[in-house]
């Protein structure tokens, strides 16, 4: 009894913050679409610290994870719980992206005022400290407030150090591990408790199997935050992750690797998943990210589907080779786009692609023209539009920073859905209008039906599914005025949670505005949901649906490529075809020479 009375509690509070909408309210949902990998990874690391008793055998570590995209964060309640149960605490704001930085700082204010230690990590801090020669003013201001900044990853015992420093009240202003990224093989299993996972739509979770990327895309932060040297988990790590989540009934995952096709263990991973499915009935559903060359890897698509991949996100980025070259996206070959997308389509997987608007060579006319070509000639399902944004941590941001070019000082806008720089060929108003129009042009009822018919032509495929997802994207953009990747089910908004410095509206005014906003949204939801449902059912019950075909689904020979608008009408398209034919001819000559040498050797 005496020993039990001496036990002490340490509260580890992990908060993955959201960011503010245009009215200054945190974007939070009753159920969110995309689970947080960072939160799962840090919860697993925290659990490992608890089991190893890193703070001593007489200290109980209590871990509370909060994903603010699906759970309102109430600092007052968190602090009251800590005070009620006693002990020490550390508030960790994790995975903080640039657009989430202002809100993360605002959350920290509450805890710091109560005397609780706060640490903050994520892509913004890591990216800035890895690419800029000085500490940016917003990060310095955060440290001056008392926030401890963490740059880097927390495996290999680094979380131990932070917890011990918090326990002994000696947190450093800055923990910078950007020059020493840890290995992740054998690292503690990323997972979350059932209560947290239940707030994800469809009871999904996420994990990574590799970090780092060898490519050099100038708009990307991953290569400068996670490094250009790839690091991997093992196949046994993968199995442990699947089994841990399977015990909680979680079998649907988003694998957050920036490019699963470049993970050197991809085949071992897929084989293990296939074994678990066939030998033990543990089947999983997976969303993965790949590059535009993945179809050239023998058996990659086939094994991916067999292993449970049903949706792939592809960094298409653009159909203009000049734009891709300017962004150092040299690995993307537009001459391979149709083959790659057709291969995924035939396999039955759903394809989602990122598409960037606002490259220096873009004009309103070229963007709208290219979108019509994509709709007609590429068998693509979801197209996600992003404004070209100099994200802190990217080469683009570093270049503009060094040149002293204006970039919007409000980090909350750095969500790829807001303009934060001036475009050289379009006015600010024209650029912003073109971005909005791109969503409307791609997600027309006619094109949603086209995509549904393309899927409906495949026996066993439900054409209502792509119609449903495309409609969901359209609803998020039109009704919620946010990027669909930030979407969820039932938006939650609270009067007192407004951005620091903005006035708290009177209760009557706030709720009157909220009521009007809700009515407006419900009308849009109802109209578009009904429209999408009718399209899906129309195609689903069409007796001739399996006979459908169009230009995007038809194979085009190498000698006919320049007849496609993708190559004939886009800037640089014709040159890309000419270059490919030259490369193919050179390879053919080399192969012929090798065959001749073998014949001569045989004689």
Amino acid 585: pLDDT: 62
Q: What is the pLDDT of residues 148-179, one digit of tens each?
A: 999 999 999 999 999 999 999 999 999 999 99
Q: How confident is the model at residue 395, as a pLDDT?
A: 95
Q: What span, in angstroms and rounded, lies between the C-alpha atoms of 502 and 546?
A: 56
3-state secondary structure of 427: coil
The answer to whether the CB of 256 falls within 8 A of the CB of 289 is yes
> Across 213-340, where does the E strand assignment appear?
231-232, 252-255, 285-290, 309-317
Residue 317 in 3-state DSSP? strand
Local confidence band at 16 (pLDDT 50, 70, 90 cut-offs):
very high
Judge contact between 319 and 566, C-beta under 8 A.
Answer: yes
pLDDT tens-digit map of 284-310: 999 999 998 999 999 999 999 999 999
Indicate left, alpha or beta for 95 from its phi (over 0: left) and psi (-120 to 50: alpha): left
Q: How is residue 26 annotated by DSSP?
A: B
For residues 391 and 418, the answer to whether their CB atoms sit within 8 Å is no
Rounded Cα distance, 49 and 7, in Å: 17
Q: Is the pLDDT of residue 197 over 70?
A: yes
pLDDT at 603: 66
Instruction: Give long-range contacts, CB 8 A cutoff, 24+ apart: 579-588.
Output: 580/333, 580/335, 584/558
Q: Average the pLDDT over 369-376 and give the result.
A: 94
Q: Is 70 exceeded by the pLDDT of residue 399?
A: yes
pLDDT tier at 431 (50, 70, 90 boundaries)? very high
User: Residue 2: its pLDDT value, please?
Assistant: 46
Residue 70: exposure state from Cβ atoms within 10 A (0-12, 13-18, ≥19) = buried
Q: Is the pLDDT of residue 385 over 80?
A: yes
398 C-beta neighbours (distance < 10 Å), count: 20
For residues 208-223, average pLDDT:
90
Give the pTM. 0.92
| Kind of pairing between the strands at 204-207 and 252-255 | parallel
Q: How many angstroms separate the Cα of 218 from the Cα of each of 201, 222, 419?
A: 33, 10, 18
Residue 52: is its pLDDT beyond 50? yes
pLDDT at 318: 87
The predicted-structure confidence for 236-257, as pLDDT tens digits, reads as follows 999 999 999 999 899 999 999 9
Q: How many helices (H) and strands (E) does the chain have?
A: 22, 16
Cα–Cα separations (whole angstroms), residue 43 to 102, 191, 433 = 23, 7, 41
Instruction: Give phi and psi for 450, each to the nearest 5.
Output: -60, -45
**pLDDT number for residue 578:** 66
- Which of 94-98, 201-205, 384-388 has the lowest average pLDDT? 201-205
pLDDT greater at residue 431 or residue 460: 431
Q: What is the distance of C-alpha 289 from the center of its chain? A: 9
Q: How confident is the model at residue 538 (pLDDT cuts 50, 70, 90)?
A: very high
DSSP state of 491: E
Which of 97-101, 314-318, 395-399 is predicted with the least confidence, judged by mean pLDDT?
Answer: 314-318
The more confidently predicted of residues 592 and 355 is 355
489-510 per-position pLDDT tens digit: 999 999 999 999 999 999 999 9
Mean pLDDT for the stretch of residues 565-578: 73
Given a cut of 90, whether residue 524 has pLDDT beyond it is yes
In this prediction, residues 196-216 reach a mean pLDDT of: 88
Mean pLDDT of the chain: 92
- Predicted confidence at residue 1, as pLDDT, reads 43
Q: Is 182 helix (H, G, I), strand (E, B) or coil?
A: coil
Distance CA 244, CA 228 (A): 30
Q: What percent of the chain has pLDDT over 70?
A: 94
β pairing state of 147-151 and 174-176:
parallel
Section 316-327 average pLDDT: 81
446 — pLDDT class (breaks 50, 70, 90): very high
What pLDDT shows up at residue 507?
Answer: 97
Q: What integer is the mean pLDDT of 203-220?
A: 89
Length of the chain: 603
């Amino acid at each position: 009894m005496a020993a039990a009375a001496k036990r002490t509690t340490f509260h580890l509070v992990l908060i993955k913050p959201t960011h503010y909408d245009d009215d200054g309210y945190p974007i939070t949902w009753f159920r969110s679409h995309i689970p947080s990998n960072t939160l799962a990874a840090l919860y697993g690391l925290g659990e490992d610290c608890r089991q190893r008793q890193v703070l001593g055998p007489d200290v109980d570590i209590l871990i509370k994870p909060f994903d603010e995209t699906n759970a309102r964060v109430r600092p007052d309640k968190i602090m009251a719980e800590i005070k009620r149960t006693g002990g020490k605490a550390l508030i960790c704001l994790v995975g903080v992206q640039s657009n989430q930085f202002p809100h993360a700082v605002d959350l920290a204010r509450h805890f710091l005022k109560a005397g609780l230690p706060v640490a903050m990590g994520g892509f913004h801090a890591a990216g800035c400290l890895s690419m800029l020669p000085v500490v940016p003013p917003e990060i310095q201001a955060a440290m001056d407030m008392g926030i401890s900044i963490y740059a880097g990853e927390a495996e290999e015992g680094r979380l131990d150090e932070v917890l011990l420093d918090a326990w002994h009240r000696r947190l450093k202003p800055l923990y910078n591990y950007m020059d020493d990224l840890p290995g992740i093989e054998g690292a503690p299993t990323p997972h979350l408790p059932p209560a947290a996972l239940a707030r994800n739509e469809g009871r999904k979770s996420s994990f990574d199997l590799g970090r780092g990327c060898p490519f050099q895309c100038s708009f990307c932060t991953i290569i400068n935050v996670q490094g250009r040297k790839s690091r991997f988990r093992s196949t046994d790590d993968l199995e442990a992750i699947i089994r841990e989540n399977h015990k909680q009934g979680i079998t649907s995952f988003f694998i957050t690797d920036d490019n699963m096709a470049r993970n050197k263990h991809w085949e071992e991973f897929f084989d293990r998943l296939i074994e678990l499915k066939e030998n033990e009935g543990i089947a999983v559903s997976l969303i993965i990210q790949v590059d535009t060359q993945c179809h050239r890897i023998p058996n990659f698509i086939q094994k991916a589907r067999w292993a449970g991949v049903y949706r792939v996100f592809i960094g298409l980025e653009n159909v203009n080779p000049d734009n891709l070259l300017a962004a150092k996206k040299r690995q993307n070959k537009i001459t391979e786009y149709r083959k790659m997308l057709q291969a995924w389509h035939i396999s039955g997987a759903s394809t989602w692609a990122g598409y960037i608007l606002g490259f220096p060579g873009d004009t309103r006319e070229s963007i709208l023209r290219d979108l019509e070509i994509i709709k007609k000639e590429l068998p693509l399902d979801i197209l996600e539009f992003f404004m070209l944004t100099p994200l802190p941590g990217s080469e683009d941001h570093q270049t503009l920073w060094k040149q002293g070019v204006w970039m919007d000082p409000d980090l909350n806008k750095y969500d790829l859905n807001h303009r934060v720089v001036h475009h050289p060929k379009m006015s600010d108003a024209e650029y912003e209008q073109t971005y909005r129009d791109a969503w409307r042009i791609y997600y027309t009822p006619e094109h949603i039906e086209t995509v549904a018919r393309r899927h409906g032509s495949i026996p066993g495929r439900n054409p209502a599914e792509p119609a449903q997802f495309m409609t969901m994207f359209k609803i998020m953009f039109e009704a919620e005025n946010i990027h669909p990747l930030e979407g969820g089910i039932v938006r939650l908004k609270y009067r007192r949670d407004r951005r620091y410095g903005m006035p708290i509206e009177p209760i009557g005014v706030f709720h009157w505005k909220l009521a009007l906003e809700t009515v407006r949204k419900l009308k849009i939801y109802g109209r578009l949901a009904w429209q999408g449902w009718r399209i899906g059912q129309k195609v689903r019950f069409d007796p001739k649906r399996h006979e459908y075909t169009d230009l995007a689904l038809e194979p085009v020979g190498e000698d006919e490529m320049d007849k496609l608008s993708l190559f004939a009408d886009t800037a640089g398209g014709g040159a890309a075809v000419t270059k490919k034919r030259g490369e193919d001819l050179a390879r053919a000559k080399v192969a012929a020479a090798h065959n001749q040498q073998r014949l001569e050797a045989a004689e």
